[in-house]
Amino acid sequence: MNAQEVLGRIEKIESLPTIPPILKKILSVIEDPRVSLQKITDFVSSDPTLTARILKMVNSPVYGFPGRISSVSHAMVILGLNAVKGLLLGVSVFEIMQKSMIGLWEHSLSTAIFARIMAIKKELPSPEEISIAGLLHDIGKVILIMAFKDDYLKLINSVEEKESFLYEIERQHFGITHAEVGGIIAKKWNFPLKLVEPIMYHHRPQLAEKYQKETAVVHLSNILTLARGVGYSGEIFVPSVHSSAWEILNLKGDEISEIFKEAEEPITTSGEIFFSDD
C-alpha cells in the first residue's frame, strides 16, 4: 500500500458507515469557512448531549475555568471560534475510539494539558488553541483506524516486536504517517494553520514554517505525556525531543519540573470528563 492509496481511501472517509451522524453534522458545519460564532453556538445548543460534553470539557481542569462556564455562548466567547471548532471535532471523533482505543483519549487529553500549561509559561497567544492542537495531534490515528482498522491494529501490536516507533512502522506500511494524515485531514476540514502545522509536524517540529513555537509545544507535550505514562497512544517508547524544539522553547530543567508539577492535578482529575455523561 502506498500513500496515494491511503489518501484515496481517506478521501472517502465521510462515507464510511462508522462515522456517527452527529460527526457528519459537525463536519458540515466546520467545513464552511464562513461559519459564524452564532451558527456554531446554535448548532451545539440544539444537541443536549453535545452541549453537555462541551461544557464538561471547558469546565474541566484542562482549561482552568472549573465550574465557571454555564452556557455554550459563554464557552464560545472564552475559547474562541477556532478552539471550539477543534473541540467539537475532538469530543466527537474520539468517541469513536471509546471501545477500540480508549487510551488514545487519555493520551490526547494529557497532551492538551501539557500544551496549555507550556503555552502560558512561554506567554504564547491563544493557549486554548494550542491546547486544542494538543488534543487533536493524533487525530490521524483515529482516521487510519477508521479506514484500515484490522491493518492498523496489527501495526500497533507489532510495535514491541519490531522495537520501533509506531510512526516509523506506519510509513513502512502505508507510505505515510498518522501525523501527515492528520495534517491533511485538518486542512481538508479548513482548520487554521495554527492547528494544522502542530498536527502535521508533531514528530518533526523542524518542518513547521509559520507556527514553529506552537508546533514545538505540541511536540514536547506529546513526549512529556509519553514520559509520564498517561494513556496509551500505541507507542511504547519515548522519543527524543528534537533539538529545534529545545532551541525554540528554551526551557530550563526547573521549568520542565514546574510544568510536570502543574499538570499533575489536571491529569489525575480530568480522566473521566468526556466519556461519562453524569
Which grid coordinates belong to 207? 518542518
**Overall pTM surpassing 0.75 (yes/no):** yes
Calpha distance 134→218 (Å, rounded): 5
Query: How far is 197 from 275, CA to CA, in rounded Å?
Result: 28
Give the model's pLDDT for residue 94: 65
Question: Which residues does the chain have with pLDDT short of 50?
Answer: 15-19, 274-278
The whole-number pLDDT of residue 209 equals 95
| Tens of pLDDT, residues 156-192 | 989 988 899 999 999 999 999 999 999 988 887 777 7
Domain boundaries, the chain: 3-275
User: Please, what CATH class does the domain formed by 3-275 belong to?
Assistant: mainly alpha
C-alpha 108/C-alpha 138 separation (Å) is 7
Q: What distance in Å separates the CA atoms of residue 230 and residue 104, rounded to the nearest whole number?
A: 9
How many angstroms separate the CA atoms of 143 and 187, rounded? 14
